[in-house]
Structure 1
Amino acid sequence: MSSGTFLQDALSGRAGVSDIDAYVDAWHDSDSDLSLHEYLGLTWDEYRLWVEKPESLRYIVAAHRHGVPVSEELQSSVSERFALAARADSSNEAESVLSWLQQTGRL
């Protein structure tokens, strides 16, 4: 694990979404003055979304990669669901997260 945030490392390819737990563990083991969401490189809203819907993390990272809000990334993923058969599972996941955001009034 590098000295960057989870998000920085995920965007540079040094970490995958499954590595976030190691970053959380490192935060617990550190004496950092940063809150966990800051330590991970997430905004408060992104952190809340990830805590409540862990499957949203891949879309949070993708949104940063594309320079768009997470909601836009999710909507894009849902609209492309039939583009590639191999992406069907992740599109259904995106649709689920997007639907949840709408049901909770966050979109």
Structure 2
Amino acid sequence: MLSKTYVQACLDGDANIFDLDDYIDYWHDNDTGVTLREFLGLTPYEYQEWGKNSDSIFRDILRCRREGIDFAEYERMSDTNRIAARSYDEEAIDRLRKESNE
């Protein structure tokens, strides 16, 4: 039934944040031959952080994957730098960095 990991399905537009429970249920009900972490498509660090937080952390994980940002590095960023990391506007990035240094 599910031929992609949850993360890959989300990135491809075939699943969304609300489908997480369905993926977990499928993993529990079927012999997938892989760990839940692998089935969801998470790195060891992402899986560990998900265990410490709520499911809403997947929004940040998916954002990082789309933008090519290492999630562990993203977690260490200040809020200002996280906003800048998500921005495509170079002027906005420079402005945020200047404001955070003042």
TM-score tier after normalising by the smaller chain length: 0.5 to 0.7
Aligned positions of 1:41-52 closer than 5 A: 41-52=41-52
Whether contact under 8 Å (2:74, 2:82) holds in the other structure is no
Assess if the C-alpha contact under 8 Å between 1:27 and 1:39 holds in 2: yes
Specify whether residues 21 and 45 from structure 1 end up closer, same or farther in structure 2 by C-alpha distance, changes over 3 A only: same
**TM-score where L is the length of structure 1:** 0.65
How many residue pairs get aligned? The number is 83
Q: Which runs of 5+ in 1 are unaligned?
A: 84-107
How far is the alpha carbon of 1:13 from its aligned partner?
1.4
Q: Which runs of 4+ in 1 moved over 3 A?
A: 71-77, 80-83
Instruction: Give the whole-Å Cα distance in 2 for the aligned partners of 1:59 and 1:37.
Output: 17
Q: Which residue of 1 aligns with 2:19?
A: 19
- Post-superposition Cα deviations, 1:24-61, rounded to whole Å, max 9, x if no partner, equal 00100111110000000001110111121122111011
Q: Are 1:57 and 2:58 matched, yes or no?
A: yes
Structure number with greater Rg is 2
Structure 2 unmatched runs, 5+:
85-102
For residues 18 and 36 of structure 2, what CA distance do their matches in structure 1 show? 17
TM-score, normalised relative to structure 2: 0.68
User: Structure 1: which amino acid aligns with 2:25?
Assistant: D
In structure 2, the CA distance between the partners of 1:51 and 1:7, relative to structure 1 (3 Å rule), is same
Correspondences of 1:27-106 after superposition (within 5 Å):
27-54=27-54, 55-74=56-75, 78-79=79-80
